[in-house]
Amino acid sequence: MSSRLIPLRGLGRPTVLSAIAVAAFAATSGVAQGPALAMLDRLEPGLWEVRARDDADTVQLCVNNGRKLIQVRHRGEACRRFVIDDAPNMVTVQYTCPAGGYGHTRVRFENPRLAQLETQGIDNGLPFNFVAEARRLGPCPR
């Protein structure tokens, strides 16, 4: 493997250092990117029903933002998340919870009131793996 050097002759040291600093800042800051998991912000808040496709098992949850759909099996737990894929119409997140559970969830945007979920992991020492449809039912009950 060979490396190729780019000649920097004619450029002053301050110019080169400034260019390196700007490139490093742009690479590490979110200046050129939108907010993380922005697709989930497009989902409407309210009462959502998550219905597994392989059986009649359903869960209803009050969602103030789409990020709650990432942890359907670990609701309310403060889990550490790692974003694997953050595309305009689909996000994939891996998370680990302090109580020992973890999950891997993919959320696909259909429209502001409908999303498709694929999630798997460990909850209370047991594995889970399901594909579900998440649909907004209306406002959350008071």
Assess whether pLDDT exceeds 80 at residue 33. Answer: no
Q: How far is CA 120 from CA 20, 24, 132, in A?
A: 42, 36, 11
* Average pLDDT value for the chain: 82
**Between these two residues, 112 and 24, which has the higher pLDDT value?**
112
Assess whether pLDDT exceeds 80 at residue 55. Answer: no
Nearest-angstrom CA–CA distance, 20 and 78: 38
Per the DSSP assignment, residues forming a β-bridge with 10 are none
Assess whether pLDDT exceeds 60 at residue 13. Answer: no
* Band of residue 116 on the pLDDT scale cut at 50, 70, 90: very high
Return the number of other C-beta atoms located less than 10 Å from residue 138's C-beta: 10
Q: φ, ψ for residue 124 (rounded to 5)?
A: 55, 40
Please report the pLDDT score of residue 29 as a whole number. 39
pLDDT average, residue stretch 117-132: 93
Percentage with pLDDT > 70 across the chain: 75
Alpha helices in the chain (DSSP H): 13-28, 38-41
Of the candidate ranges 7-11, 22-26, 38-42, the one whose mean pLDDT is the lowest? 22-26
Nearest-angstrom CA–CA distance, 35 and 88: 11
Assess whether pLDDT exceeds 80 at residue 74. Answer: yes
Please report the pLDDT score of residue 100 as a whole number. 82
Strand pairing report for 58-63 and 80-86: unpaired
